[in-house]
Chain A
Amino acid sequence: MNKNKVRVMSLLFVIFIALAATPQMTSYPTGLGTNGNNGCGCHSGGAGTTTVTVEGMPDSFTGGESYELTLTVSNPDIAGGEISANMGGFRFFASAGTFGAGENFTDLVQESEGGMTHTELGNDLRSWNVTWTAPDNEGQIVEFEAHGNAVNGNAVIPTDLKGNTGDAWGTFEASLPGAAALGGGAILIEQAEPFEVAIAAITFGIALFSLMLVYVFYRNNPDGFNLNGLTEWLKKWMTTTDHKEVGTLYFVFSFLFLLIGGIFAMLFRLQLAVADNDFLTQDQYNSFFTLHGTTMIFLAAMPMIAAFANWIIPLQIGAKDLAFPRVNAMGFWMLAFSSFLLYGGVMAGEGADITWTMYAPFSNSLGEKGASAGTTLFVAGIIMLGISSTLSGVNFIATVMTMRAPGVTWMKMPLFTWSIFVANAMLYLSLPALIIGTAYLYFDRTIGTHFYDAAVGGDPILWAHLFWYFGHPEVYVVILPAFGVVSEVLSTSAKRSVFGYKSMVYALAGIGVLGFIVWGHHMLTSGMDPTLRLIMMLTTMLVAIPTGVKIFNWLATLWGGSLVFKTHTLWALGFLVTFTMGGISGMFFPVAGLDTHFHDTYFVVAHFHYVLVGGTLFGMYSAIYYWYPKAVGRKLDEKLGLLHFLITFIAMNGTFWPMHQLGIEGMPRRYHTYSVDSWSELNSFITMSALIMGLAQLILAWNLIRSYKHGEKCGKDPWGGWSLEWTTTSPPPTPSFHEIPTQEDDNLHHVESNSGGMFSRMWKGVEPE
């Protein structure tokens, strides 16, 4: 075997083992992590001959009735001995109904994580009584699961009468049908277990993805389809440092996670479709929307931006590659591997449930009432993401600062490059707050520090400050590149240079600076310092000014241009509409009085989806249609593109517009269900729209795959763009330029936009050329 094969294979092997081990390690009764999920679960290992029995189970249950159950653990190898401390333990769960203590057992058993477990006192026993009250719905089957331990630390064994510190646990499982489910005439539709659906969907997704990889490999070179060729090909992708290839990696990764994040969204939208729904449990809902938010921001939006930054920045500034190609590759792989940590908990059914904002003091709480055990891994994943973004941030800034070709001066640099520059400057200066904040959180959860623990004087508000000091710049990190794309697309489509280029640059820079002093607007209701609150209210309102400048400049660019309606133009126009609406709803929040009403309602959800979906995602879609020909040498199908745009645009508004109303009516966000029947109607509408929007993205996926081989061929400059990326071949060579090019003036290629001044042109309605 050659060296490559060994390396590729062994790396893949470790990755798959890691994938497989994640759920294994964590499906012990202990659950994930070291923090005491108490009960019999302070120990792991040692499954053996222990049996667990439960007596008192009926053949079928009657809705609402209580049953007294006796749970017993026994092990012939560890016979009774004398009653002693810590001789046994158990945990008992049911998929429905509620538990309580059995008669005379109130001190010996307790509730824990929705199930029952023994108390400190109760672990001197091997048999316990609990009551279980059946749920009202008799048409279902309730699943019972119990873990019992016949040693639990140091039971006394007969032979030497000394403490036995081993463990011996066993498991009990049973299904109990309701009366109606047992031939009472009602038709039983077995309830889908949403958690399994999610796992199955993800597994299916990964399998499909691997198959697709193999297929792509095959299509690239059908003759070379053998193992040697495959490892050679995989090696190329695993070791590449070329900016275009790393860009492609970023893109594929982000698209995959866009779909996974979408699956989560569909699942919890189903849960919210009607009032009092129980499709998802509260825990599942919590971890699903946590993963949804984190995935969409960190694993979908940012990598998609990084994909285009990687691909386009060196081409636009006329550089052969990024400043530090190896650091660039490292940034990608750190990101890719962090996803294992983020998702590790979900696979084990203990997904992090701390939301993407990870608010202390819940996120640093341990144990039964605390955040779920997967949170520790999740926080570790966030730290890794921080490392990844710092690496790529430094790299992009260094590239733009040092590697611009002749003619690409600061004030002639394409706006997309400017936007990436400002975004990364913001990112890498704000990330340290997140990295340190999450490190504190991580240490609180692992080695027993107390940064956020108010009980010893720690300060949960510190978390909010650190998070939002990063978090607000972060929302600009994801929107500015979309601004850049829209500027490029609109000027190319209108066949003229961007109106007010300089003011565009100053607006970007202004947002970059202001973005650092507004974080407190996310904390207006947190009980922060009132003086700071006032300052943050004012600065937040200021941000609207540079944002408004940009919007008017885009409109002025369209004014008098001769617009060509390509798919990317449609997305950019769609962006103008939806992003502006999101910006307007944003202006309600800085008013602290209003925010007290709006905060943590669906109004906020509507706001940030208008800016993130209607802004960032639409901008990135525009970029996909705009630059795909440059990367592949073929255009995407315009008809499919139009269909994709129309459906997504309408469904997007259908999904998020009604949320404004729900928010004003007071529907809180981050709750797994609601009991106000009058909200059901709008919510079902939202869910339907969301499903349509989700499915419509498959059109794009299909378009991307199909056009790779069958799209219309195109030359260097299919859209009439002027910046340097259009002067090289499609796809570009490696290194991306053989000769360092020189950039000419935009206005040589286009109608100059500001001759005669803004107003004279606007009022006269100048004819182009």
Chain B
Amino acid sequence: MYLVADISVEICASKSCKLCTQYCPEANTILYSEEMGKERGFKYGSAYVAVDRCKGCAQCVWVCDNMAKNNAIKMIMIDQLPKAALTDNITYGEKSTTAVLMSPVVG
């Protein structure tokens, strides 16, 4: 089993700085969704991870903890993720993306 990054929508959407989207080494792996935050009553959206592309480096955790100072990202075993996004279920829009979350992701 292996670790992937998981972003807490509640914690991220309170800040929604998008820094992790700029620092993940992998392309189109941390994405941004307006809807994800707004549908839970936040003013802004949230970042989220397409876990099929995540290589588990935890750079985003360092960026969120130390640069954004928001501690919204944790590394979780892929089979322990409650729900997660996969590239196939992501739709790009004009300024944001939307994702249908899967559960379970593997197994």
Does B bind A?
no
A interface residues (Cβ-Cβ under 8 A, vs B)? none
B interface residues (Cβ-Cβ under 8 A, vs A)? none
